[in-house]
Copies of this chain bind each other. A is one copy, B any other.
Amino acid sequence: MKNPDILVVGSIAFDTIKTPFGEKKEILGGSATYFSYAASLFAPVNLLGIVGSDFPEKEIRKFEKRGIDTSGLQVRPGKTFRWSGRYGKNLKEARTVSVALNVMDGYSPKLPEQYRNSQYLFLANIDPETQLKTLKQVDSPKIVVCDTMNLWIKTKLPELKKLLEKVDVLLLNDEEARMLTGQENLRAAGRDILKLGPKTAIIKKGAHGVIMISGKDDFFFAPAFPTTGVSDPTGAGDSFGGGFTGYIAARNDFSTARMHKALFYGAAVASFTVEGFGLKALEKISVSNVEHRVKQIKKLIQI
């Protein structure tokens, strides 16, 4: 039986990135890109997004080769979204140097007919209005997983809150969870997130791993893989989302117990992503690499 398709909407970008380990100019990135590369390890992905006429045909073919359907990828005259950022020594948070929305400005997603009955929906980090517009076009998704960022919490909180009422799983990082809820304690922040709509909150803490809070005070923790070879953290969160969602879609099971396991798959995929600039490390791995790393992560906590 074919694995259920995952529908993702998000950004597709060219990134210019500087970290203590090097600098790369105009490499393929964006939340939907990292997510798709990661999730397609496990299940077919339908990609919804927009690029400019400068977007190379060969990158579209690379998507397709990974089982990522690009019939939802709009190509519009103009330039693809650009982002430039720098990471300090602690590699935790990027400082944005410049952003050019380009063709993303005013983007309104239009769902191809054949995407309407997608069962697994991932709203990658992008304007919450765009996320909501996408959600409204899907008939009856089994599960809606949503990522967001500090920018939207600051500038589009009412829109984000409206969206969250319809979301099953919210992914966000620790500082974003604090910003969204005003709670310093992450368990308390997780509980408050559940009051906003989601049944599950997944709080990403970078190298400190990830926590998952769900109904009935269920609290779960998965460590990050302790790689010493971090080159570029860009896309770690998005590919965590891809590994997580890809794994549950492949099993067609989104029970709490399955989601706990899925955290290890997200963590494993993300640990590869950060070991190379851009997609360099992520694009080379296979499911068996991921499975091996999942085992290594489990061993870290096995007594």
Q: Which A residues have a C-beta under 8 Å from some C-beta of B?
A: 89-91, 184-188, 205, 207-209, 211, 219-223, 226-228, 230, 257, 260-261, 264, 298, 300-301, 303
Contact = CB atoms under 8 A, between A and B. Distances in A.
Contact of A91 (B184, B187, B230, B301): B184
Contacts of A257: 303
Given A208-B205, A223-B221, A230 B301 contact: no
A226 B211 contact: yes
Contact of A90 (B184, B223, B226, B230): B184
Contacts of A185: 228, 230
Contacts of A222: 301
6 contacts: A90-B184, A188-B228, A209-B223, A211-B226, A221-B226, A301-B301
A69 B300 CA distance: 37
A184 B89 contact: yes
Contacts of A219: 226, 300
Nearest to A212: B300
In the assembly, how many copies of this chain are there? 2
Nearest to A207: B186
Contact of A301 (B184, B186, B207, B220): B220
A220 B228 CA distance: 15
Of A205, A261, A300, the most chain B CB neighbours within 10 A belong to: A300
A264 B303 CA distance: 10
A219 B211 CA distance: 20
Contacts of A227: 187
A81 B22 CA distance: 49
Contact of A300 (B91, B220, B226, B261): B220
A6 to B, nearest CB: 22
Nearest to A188: B228
A14 B301 CA distance: 37
Nearest to A261: B303
A227 B188 CA distance: 9
Nearest to A297: B221
A188 B223 CA distance: 17
B301 A187 contact: no
Contact of A187 (B90, B209, B228, B303): B228
A82 to B, nearest CB: 29
Given A205-B208, A208-B205, A208-B208, A301 B188 contact: no
Contacts of A184: 89-91
